[in-house]
Amino acid sequence: MRKIKGILGLLAQCAAICFWVGLTLTCIWILLTNPEHNAQPIGYLLATFVIAIYAAIAAGTIHCLRRQFQWVGENERLMAWLAANAEKIRNNHPVYCRSQRITLGTVLVRYHIVFSALIISTRYQTRWMIQNKEPRFWHVFSCCLYTCFYGWWGLPFGVFWTPIALVKNLAGSTTVGVAELLQPAPADPVSIGDRFRSNLSRDLRGGFFMDEKPKGVLPAETAVKV
C-alpha cells in the first residue's frame, strides 16, 4: 500500500510539473502572438512577471522531484558506509563521512515535505544530515516552501500533515543517533499474519505522522523459533 501511495504521489507531482510548464508555455505564446501586450509596456511587464512566476514554480517542482530520488540513493550510501565502518566507530577510530568525523554520539537529522492533490497526500523525507555539522537553512527553507505550496490541497491528511511537517522542519526534531543505527536489524516477519501486523503498524504510524526511524544497519541476528 505504501508503494502504491508513493507511486501515486510521484505521478501527481509529474502532473503538477506538466500543468505549470504548460501554463508557462501558453502564457509565452499569448504574449508573443498578442500585439496589444507589445503596445502596452505595463501589460507586457506584468505578463512577463507572471510567466517568470509560473516558470519558477515549474522549475522548483522539478528540482524537488529530482532531489527525492537523490535522497534515496544518498541515504542508502550513508547506511552502507555506517555498516562498513561500524567497528571503527565503536572503537572511536577517526572516520569521516562528508568531511565530518562520525562517532557514536553523532546525531543525524532529516526534514519533511508534503505533497497533496485532492485525495492524494504523500510524505517524503530528505536525506539524513549530520546535525550541527552540515548547513540546514536551505534544506529547511525549500522543504517548508514546497510543503506550504503543495501540502494543503488534500483531504484529510494534507491539512493534518502540513502543519506538523512545518513544525518538525523548523524544530529539527526528526533525529536518530549513530549509536542507534549500529545495531542488528530486526528479523523480517515470516508469517503472513506478522507481515500484515507489521505493515498495518507502519501505515498507522505514517497516518499519524509518527517518525519512523531506520532500523539497525547491521545484518539481522539469526532468530531461532521454538
* pLDDT band of 216, cuts 50, 70, 90: confident
- CA 73-201-109 angle, to 5 degrees, is 40
- Distance in angstroms (rounded) separating the CA atoms of residues 83 and 218: 6
Cα–Cα distance, 146 to 137 (Å, whole number)? 14
Inform me whether the pLDDT recorded for 222 exceeds 50.
no
- For residues 108 and 31, the model is more confident at 108
Average pLDDT score over residue span 21-41 = 80
DSSP string, 10-65: HHHHHHHHHHHHHHHHHHHHHHHH-HHHHH-HHHHHHHHHHHHHHHHHHHHHHHHH
Q: Which of 110, 108, 166, 104 has the alpha carbon at shortest distance from 133?
A: 108
Q: Does 225 have pLDDT greater than 60?
A: no
Query: Cα(188)–Cα(204) distance, rounded to whole angstroms?
Result: 19
> What tens digit of pLDDT does each residue of 165-190 get?
999 999 998 999 999 999 887 777 77
Dmax (CA) for the chain in angstroms is 85
Amino acid letter at 142? S
* 44-48, 63-67, 81-85, 173-177: segment of lowest average pLDDT: 44-48
Does the pLDDT at position 84 exceed 80?
Answer: yes
> Rounded to whole angstroms, how far apart are CA atoms 134 and 49?
35
For the chain, the average pLDDT equals 87
- Among 160, 137, 156, which Cα is nearest to 147's? 160
* Residue 62 pLDDT grade (very low, low, confident, very high; cuts 50, 70, 90): very high
At CA 10, angle to CA 8 and CA 11, rounded to 5?
A: 65
Q: Given this model, what pLDDT does residue 226 score?
A: 31
* Strand duo 100-101 + 120-125: pairing: unpaired
